[in-house]
Amino acid sequence: MIKTTVLALLFTGISHISMAQTSNTAAVFGIYVNEVDVTAEMAANVLRIELNKIGRYQMLDKLDLLEVEQLSDIKFIDCYGKQCLESVGKKSGVDYAISGAVESLGPKMVITLKIYNVRSGSYAITTSMEFYKNVEEIQRMMRILVRKAHDLENEREIVEMLTFYEQPPTTQRSKLNNNGPRFGLAYIGGEMGDVLQLSESQGGYDAFPVMSQFGYQLEKAYISSGDFEALVEGLFLATGIEQNLFIPSLTILNGFRSTSSGWEFGFGPSISVRKTAAGYYDSTNVWHAEGSPDPNIFEPTHRIDSRGTAQLSATWVWAIGKTFRSGYLNIPVNAFFSHGKYGWNTGVSMGFNISR
Protein backbone atom coordinates (compact mmCIF):
# COMPACT_ATOMS: atom_id res chain seq x y z
CA MET A 1 0.00 0.00 0.00
CA ILE A 2 2.82 2.42 0.91
CA LYS A 3 4.69 1.46 -2.26
CA THR A 4 1.61 2.11 -4.39
CA THR A 5 1.09 5.52 -2.78
CA VAL A 6 4.71 6.52 -3.35
CA LEU A 7 4.50 5.52 -7.02
CA ALA A 8 1.29 7.48 -7.42
CA LEU A 9 2.86 10.59 -5.89
CA LEU A 10 5.93 10.16 -8.07
CA PHE A 11 3.79 9.82 -11.21
CA THR A 12 1.80 12.91 -10.23
CA GLY A 13 5.01 14.89 -9.77
CA ILE A 14 6.31 13.85 -13.18
CA SER A 15 3.02 14.88 -14.77
CA HIS A 16 3.23 18.33 -13.18
CA ILE A 17 6.80 18.75 -14.45
CA SER A 18 5.73 17.79 -17.98
CA MET A 19 2.86 20.28 -17.82
CA ALA A 20 5.24 23.02 -16.71
CA GLN A 21 7.48 22.48 -19.68
CA THR A 22 4.61 23.36 -22.06
CA SER A 23 2.39 25.71 -20.10
CA ASN A 24 -0.18 26.40 -22.84
CA THR A 25 -2.65 23.56 -23.22
CA ALA A 26 -4.79 23.40 -26.34
CA ALA A 27 -7.32 21.21 -28.10
CA VAL A 28 -8.67 21.04 -31.64
CA PHE A 29 -12.45 20.91 -31.69
CA GLY A 30 -14.69 21.38 -34.75
CA ILE A 31 -13.40 21.56 -38.31
CA TYR A 32 -16.04 22.67 -40.79
CA VAL A 33 -15.70 20.86 -44.13
CA ASN A 34 -17.62 21.95 -47.23
CA GLU A 35 -17.48 20.22 -50.66
CA VAL A 36 -14.02 18.77 -50.05
CA ASP A 37 -13.27 15.06 -50.17
CA VAL A 38 -11.97 14.82 -46.61
CA THR A 39 -13.80 14.15 -43.34
CA ALA A 40 -13.99 16.66 -40.50
CA GLU A 41 -12.36 14.12 -38.18
CA MET A 42 -9.44 13.60 -40.53
CA ALA A 43 -8.95 17.36 -40.95
CA ALA A 44 -8.97 17.79 -37.16
CA ASN A 45 -6.42 15.00 -36.71
CA VAL A 46 -4.08 16.52 -39.31
CA LEU A 47 -4.37 19.98 -37.74
CA ARG A 48 -3.67 18.50 -34.29
CA ILE A 49 -0.53 16.78 -35.60
CA GLU A 50 0.84 19.95 -37.19
CA LEU A 51 0.10 22.07 -34.12
CA ASN A 52 1.85 19.52 -31.95
CA LYS A 53 4.96 19.68 -34.19
CA ILE A 54 5.64 23.37 -33.57
CA GLY A 55 5.96 22.81 -29.81
CA ARG A 56 3.90 25.85 -28.75
CA TYR A 57 1.11 23.88 -27.07
CA GLN A 58 0.49 20.75 -25.05
CA MET A 59 -2.19 19.25 -27.25
CA LEU A 60 -5.08 17.13 -25.95
CA ASP A 61 -5.42 14.10 -28.18
CA LYS A 62 -8.55 12.41 -29.45
CA LEU A 63 -8.86 10.12 -26.42
CA ASP A 64 -8.58 13.04 -24.01
CA LEU A 65 -11.43 14.79 -25.78
CA LEU A 66 -13.62 11.68 -25.77
CA GLU A 67 -13.40 11.54 -21.98
CA VAL A 68 -14.45 15.19 -21.67
CA GLU A 69 -17.17 14.73 -24.30
CA GLN A 70 -18.75 11.91 -22.25
CA LEU A 71 -19.23 14.33 -19.35
CA SER A 72 -20.91 17.04 -21.45
CA ASP A 73 -23.74 17.32 -23.92
CA ILE A 74 -21.67 19.02 -26.63
CA LYS A 75 -20.26 17.25 -29.67
CA PHE A 76 -16.81 18.74 -30.12
CA ILE A 77 -16.73 17.92 -33.82
CA ASP A 78 -19.60 20.40 -34.36
CA CYS A 79 -18.00 23.23 -32.37
CA TYR A 80 -16.92 26.08 -34.66
CA GLY A 81 -17.87 29.50 -33.23
CA LYS A 82 -16.73 31.71 -30.38
CA GLN A 83 -19.40 30.83 -27.82
CA CYS A 84 -19.01 27.10 -28.33
CA LEU A 85 -15.22 27.31 -28.20
CA GLU A 86 -15.38 29.21 -24.94
CA SER A 87 -17.78 26.65 -23.45
CA VAL A 88 -15.87 23.52 -24.47
CA GLY A 89 -12.57 25.19 -23.69
CA LYS A 90 -13.63 25.76 -20.07
CA LYS A 91 -15.10 22.25 -19.76
CA SER A 92 -11.93 20.63 -21.09
CA GLY A 93 -9.68 22.93 -19.02
CA VAL A 94 -7.46 24.10 -21.91
CA ASP A 95 -5.94 27.52 -22.44
CA TYR A 96 -6.67 27.57 -26.17
CA ALA A 97 -9.66 26.14 -28.03
CA ILE A 98 -9.02 25.65 -31.73
CA SER A 99 -11.35 25.30 -34.70
CA GLY A 100 -11.12 25.80 -38.44
CA ALA A 101 -12.59 25.15 -41.84
CA VAL A 102 -11.69 23.43 -45.09
CA GLU A 103 -13.87 24.70 -47.93
CA SER A 104 -14.02 24.39 -51.70
CA LEU A 105 -14.27 27.63 -53.67
CA GLY A 106 -14.16 27.08 -57.41
CA PRO A 107 -10.67 25.90 -58.45
CA LYS A 108 -9.22 26.55 -54.98
CA MET A 109 -9.46 25.23 -51.45
CA VAL A 110 -9.62 27.69 -48.54
CA ILE A 111 -8.31 26.57 -45.15
CA THR A 112 -9.08 28.66 -42.07
CA LEU A 113 -7.52 28.46 -38.60
CA LYS A 114 -9.04 30.02 -35.46
CA ILE A 115 -7.30 29.84 -32.08
CA TYR A 116 -9.44 31.08 -29.18
CA ASN A 117 -7.83 32.22 -25.91
CA VAL A 118 -10.16 30.82 -23.25
CA ARG A 119 -8.66 32.95 -20.47
CA SER A 120 -8.94 36.31 -22.23
CA GLY A 121 -12.20 35.49 -23.99
CA SER A 122 -10.92 36.53 -27.44
CA TYR A 123 -9.32 35.10 -30.53
CA ALA A 124 -5.54 34.92 -30.37
CA ILE A 125 -5.16 33.97 -34.04
CA THR A 126 -7.53 34.00 -37.00
CA THR A 127 -6.08 33.41 -40.45
CA SER A 128 -6.77 31.63 -43.73
CA MET A 129 -4.95 30.72 -46.94
CA GLU A 130 -6.01 29.75 -50.44
CA PHE A 131 -4.54 26.59 -51.96
CA TYR A 132 -5.00 24.56 -55.10
CA LYS A 133 -7.77 22.01 -54.71
CA ASN A 134 -5.73 18.91 -53.95
CA VAL A 135 -6.84 16.98 -50.86
CA GLU A 136 -3.82 14.68 -51.12
CA GLU A 137 -1.71 17.63 -49.96
CA ILE A 138 -3.98 18.53 -47.02
CA GLN A 139 -1.28 17.87 -44.42
CA ARG A 140 1.32 20.06 -46.10
CA MET A 141 -1.31 22.78 -46.53
CA MET A 142 -2.14 22.58 -42.81
CA ARG A 143 1.57 22.73 -42.00
CA ILE A 144 2.04 25.87 -44.11
CA LEU A 145 -0.97 27.58 -42.49
CA VAL A 146 0.02 26.64 -38.92
CA ARG A 147 3.62 27.79 -39.35
CA LYS A 148 2.56 31.02 -41.03
CA ALA A 149 0.08 31.75 -38.22
CA HIS A 150 2.87 31.38 -35.65
CA ASP A 151 5.47 33.38 -37.64
CA LEU A 152 7.57 30.32 -38.45
CA GLU A 153 9.45 29.90 -41.73
CA ASN A 154 8.00 27.69 -44.44
CA GLU A 155 9.73 26.00 -47.37
CA ARG A 156 9.36 28.58 -50.15
CA GLU A 157 9.23 26.03 -52.98
CA ILE A 158 6.41 24.09 -51.27
CA VAL A 159 4.44 27.27 -50.58
CA GLU A 160 4.72 28.38 -54.23
CA MET A 161 3.71 24.93 -55.45
CA LEU A 162 0.54 24.71 -53.33
CA THR A 163 -0.59 28.33 -52.93
CA PHE A 164 -3.36 29.58 -55.20
CA TYR A 165 -2.64 32.94 -56.88
CA GLU A 166 -5.11 35.39 -58.38
CA GLN A 167 -4.00 34.42 -61.90
CA PRO A 168 -2.98 30.77 -61.54
CA PRO A 169 -0.59 29.00 -63.89
CA THR A 170 -1.87 26.30 -66.19
CA THR A 171 -0.54 23.56 -63.91
CA GLN A 172 0.14 23.30 -60.23
CA ARG A 173 3.76 22.40 -60.82
CA SER A 174 6.10 25.37 -60.69
CA LYS A 175 7.90 25.63 -64.04
CA LEU A 176 10.52 28.16 -65.05
CA ASN A 177 10.28 30.02 -68.33
CA ASN A 178 13.01 32.54 -69.07
CA ASN A 179 11.77 33.99 -72.35
CA GLY A 180 12.32 37.71 -72.09
CA PRO A 181 14.74 40.64 -72.33
CA ARG A 182 18.36 40.27 -71.21
CA PHE A 183 20.98 42.88 -70.38
CA GLY A 184 24.42 42.89 -68.82
CA LEU A 185 28.10 43.78 -69.05
CA ALA A 186 31.01 42.06 -70.78
CA TYR A 187 34.76 42.50 -70.45
CA ILE A 188 36.57 41.79 -73.74
CA GLY A 189 40.13 40.51 -73.58
CA GLY A 190 42.81 39.05 -75.81
CA GLU A 191 43.35 40.41 -79.31
CA MET A 192 39.77 41.69 -79.46
CA GLY A 193 40.29 43.80 -76.35
CA ASP A 194 43.56 45.19 -77.63
CA VAL A 195 42.14 46.19 -81.03
CA LEU A 196 39.08 47.82 -79.47
CA GLN A 197 41.31 50.28 -77.60
CA LEU A 198 43.36 51.30 -80.66
CA SER A 199 42.58 54.45 -82.61
CA GLU A 200 40.59 54.18 -85.82
CA SER A 201 43.70 55.11 -87.84
CA GLN A 202 45.33 51.94 -86.49
CA GLY A 203 42.32 49.79 -87.35
CA GLY A 204 40.82 49.99 -83.86
CA TYR A 205 37.58 51.36 -82.50
CA ASP A 206 38.84 53.82 -79.88
CA ALA A 207 36.61 52.05 -77.32
CA PHE A 208 36.82 50.79 -73.75
CA PRO A 209 36.86 46.96 -73.44
CA VAL A 210 33.95 46.89 -70.94
CA MET A 211 30.70 47.05 -72.90
CA SER A 212 26.99 46.80 -72.28
CA GLN A 213 24.86 44.06 -73.80
CA PHE A 214 21.15 44.14 -74.55
CA GLY A 215 18.91 41.65 -76.28
CA TYR A 216 16.27 38.96 -75.97
CA GLN A 217 16.32 35.29 -74.97
CA LEU A 218 14.10 32.43 -76.18
CA GLU A 219 14.20 28.99 -74.61
CA LYS A 220 12.48 25.63 -74.93
CA ALA A 221 12.58 22.65 -72.57
CA TYR A 222 12.70 19.44 -74.62
CA ILE A 223 13.22 16.89 -71.81
CA SER A 224 11.74 17.09 -68.32
CA SER A 225 12.28 14.45 -65.64
CA GLY A 226 11.69 14.99 -61.94
CA ASP A 227 13.36 18.17 -60.74
CA PHE A 228 15.54 18.54 -63.85
CA GLU A 229 14.93 19.57 -67.42
CA ALA A 230 17.07 19.80 -70.53
CA LEU A 231 16.60 22.91 -72.60
CA VAL A 232 17.85 24.84 -75.58
CA GLU A 233 18.24 28.62 -75.51
CA GLY A 234 18.60 31.19 -78.26
CA LEU A 235 20.04 34.55 -77.25
CA PHE A 236 20.12 37.62 -79.52
CA LEU A 237 22.46 40.35 -78.24
CA ALA A 238 23.74 43.75 -79.33
CA THR A 239 27.04 44.76 -77.69
CA GLY A 240 28.68 48.16 -77.30
CA ILE A 241 25.74 50.42 -78.12
CA GLU A 242 26.79 52.98 -75.50
CA GLN A 243 30.17 53.36 -77.31
CA ASN A 244 28.54 53.97 -80.71
CA LEU A 245 29.23 50.39 -81.72
CA PHE A 246 26.79 47.72 -82.80
CA ILE A 247 28.16 44.19 -82.50
CA PRO A 248 25.33 41.70 -83.10
CA SER A 249 25.54 38.09 -81.99
CA LEU A 250 23.43 34.94 -81.86
CA THR A 251 24.19 32.40 -79.14
CA ILE A 252 22.66 28.92 -79.03
CA LEU A 253 23.07 27.09 -75.73
CA ASN A 254 22.19 23.57 -74.68
CA GLY A 255 21.77 23.25 -70.95
CA PHE A 256 20.27 21.68 -67.86
CA ARG A 257 18.23 23.27 -65.09
CA SER A 258 16.94 22.26 -61.67
CA THR A 259 13.31 23.36 -61.55
CA SER A 260 13.31 23.19 -57.75
CA SER A 261 16.39 25.35 -57.06
CA GLY A 262 16.60 27.38 -60.29
CA TRP A 263 20.31 26.60 -60.88
CA GLU A 264 21.30 26.02 -64.53
CA PHE A 265 24.33 25.28 -66.68
CA GLY A 266 24.69 25.75 -70.45
CA PHE A 267 27.19 25.66 -73.29
CA GLY A 268 27.20 26.23 -77.03
CA PRO A 269 28.38 28.33 -79.97
CA SER A 270 28.00 32.06 -80.49
CA ILE A 271 28.09 33.64 -83.95
CA SER A 272 28.78 37.34 -84.40
CA VAL A 273 29.81 39.78 -87.14
CA ARG A 274 33.32 41.25 -86.99
CA LYS A 275 35.41 43.24 -89.45
CA THR A 276 38.70 41.57 -90.31
CA ALA A 277 41.53 42.43 -92.69
CA ALA A 278 44.52 40.65 -94.18
CA GLY A 279 47.91 42.07 -93.25
CA TYR A 280 51.04 41.46 -91.26
CA TYR A 281 52.94 42.56 -88.15
CA ASP A 282 56.33 44.15 -88.83
CA SER A 283 59.48 43.68 -86.78
CA THR A 284 58.26 46.24 -84.23
CA ASN A 285 54.92 44.41 -83.90
CA VAL A 286 53.04 47.16 -85.68
CA TRP A 287 50.06 45.99 -87.69
CA HIS A 288 49.87 46.74 -91.43
CA ALA A 289 46.59 46.04 -93.18
CA GLU A 290 47.77 47.02 -96.64
CA GLY A 291 50.46 45.78 -98.97
CA SER A 292 51.97 42.35 -99.50
CA PRO A 293 54.83 41.55 -97.14
CA ASP A 294 57.87 39.57 -98.09
CA PRO A 295 56.87 36.02 -97.02
CA ASN A 296 60.50 35.33 -96.17
CA ILE A 297 60.45 38.13 -93.58
CA PHE A 298 56.86 38.62 -92.42
CA GLU A 299 54.06 36.09 -92.04
CA PRO A 300 50.74 37.18 -93.59
CA THR A 301 47.73 36.81 -91.31
CA HIS A 302 44.25 38.14 -90.53
CA ARG A 303 43.26 40.42 -87.68
CA ILE A 304 40.20 42.28 -86.44
CA ASP A 305 40.33 45.68 -88.14
CA SER A 306 37.71 48.42 -88.31
CA ARG A 307 38.83 49.12 -91.89
CA GLY A 308 38.30 45.53 -93.01
CA THR A 309 35.29 43.64 -94.36
CA ALA A 310 32.48 42.21 -92.21
CA GLN A 311 32.64 38.46 -91.72
CA LEU A 312 30.99 35.87 -89.51
CA SER A 313 33.06 34.80 -86.50
CA ALA A 314 32.34 32.01 -84.01
CA THR A 315 33.22 31.53 -80.34
CA TRP A 316 32.32 28.95 -77.71
CA VAL A 317 30.31 29.98 -74.64
CA TRP A 318 30.08 28.49 -71.14
CA ALA A 319 27.39 29.82 -68.80
CA ILE A 320 26.14 29.15 -65.28
CA GLY A 321 23.37 30.89 -63.42
CA LYS A 322 20.33 30.83 -61.17
CA THR A 323 16.77 32.01 -61.58
CA PHE A 324 15.30 33.85 -58.60
CA ARG A 325 11.52 33.78 -58.30
CA SER A 326 8.94 35.93 -56.57
CA GLY A 327 5.42 34.76 -57.32
CA TYR A 328 5.05 34.98 -61.10
CA LEU A 329 8.22 37.06 -61.58
CA ASN A 330 11.37 35.22 -62.74
CA ILE A 331 14.76 36.96 -62.54
CA PRO A 332 17.49 34.91 -64.27
CA VAL A 333 21.10 35.89 -63.44
CA ASN A 334 24.01 34.30 -65.37
CA ALA A 335 27.79 34.48 -65.55
CA PHE A 336 29.43 33.53 -68.84
CA PHE A 337 32.84 32.99 -70.47
CA SER A 338 33.37 32.96 -74.24
CA HIS A 339 36.58 32.18 -76.12
CA GLY A 340 37.58 32.00 -79.78
CA LYS A 341 40.29 32.68 -82.36
CA TYR A 342 40.46 36.44 -81.76
CA GLY A 343 40.29 36.49 -77.94
CA TRP A 344 37.81 36.04 -75.15
CA ASN A 345 35.17 37.85 -73.14
CA THR A 346 33.45 37.30 -69.81
CA GLY A 347 30.67 38.99 -67.90
CA VAL A 348 27.27 38.78 -66.28
CA SER A 349 23.75 39.17 -67.60
CA MET A 350 20.28 39.19 -66.11
CA GLY A 351 16.70 39.53 -67.23
CA PHE A 352 13.12 39.30 -66.10
CA ASN A 353 9.89 37.74 -67.27
CA ILE A 354 6.46 36.71 -66.08
CA SER A 355 5.38 33.07 -65.96
CA ARG A 356 2.19 32.28 -67.87
Q: For residues 342-351, b (16+ Cβ closer than 10 Å) or e, as one string?
A: bbbbebebeb
**pLDDT score at 186:** 95
**pLDDT score at 197:** 92
d(CA 117, CA 123): 6
Co-location of 136 and 260 in the same domain: no
Co-location of 80 and 195 in the same domain: no
Co-location of 336 and 265 in the same domain: yes
| Residue range 28-84, pLDDT digits in tens | 988 899 888 888 889 989 999 999 999 999 988 888 877 777 766 666 667 888 888
Co-location of 198 and 283 in the same domain: yes
Q: Which domain holds residue 130?
A: 20-162
Co-location of 185 and 302 in the same domain: yes
Co-location of 32 and 156 in the same domain: yes
Co-location of 229 and 146 in the same domain: no
Q: Is residue 171 part of a domain?
A: no
Q: Is residue 2 part of a domain?
A: no
Q: Quick one: residue 160, left, alpha or beta (phi over 0 = left, psi -120 to 50 = alpha)?
A: alpha
d(CA 355, CA 343): 37
Co-location of 142 and 191 in the same domain: no
- CATH code (residue 39): 3.40.50.10070
Whether 6 shows a pLDDT value over 50: the answer reads: no
Task: Enter the pTM of the model.
Answer: 0.50
The proportion of the chain whose per-residue pLDDT surpasses 70, expressed as a percent, equals: 85
Q: Is residue 8 part of a domain?
A: no
For the ranges 165-169, 303-307, 330-334, the one whose mean pLDDT is highest = 330-334
If one counts the domains in the chain, the total is 2
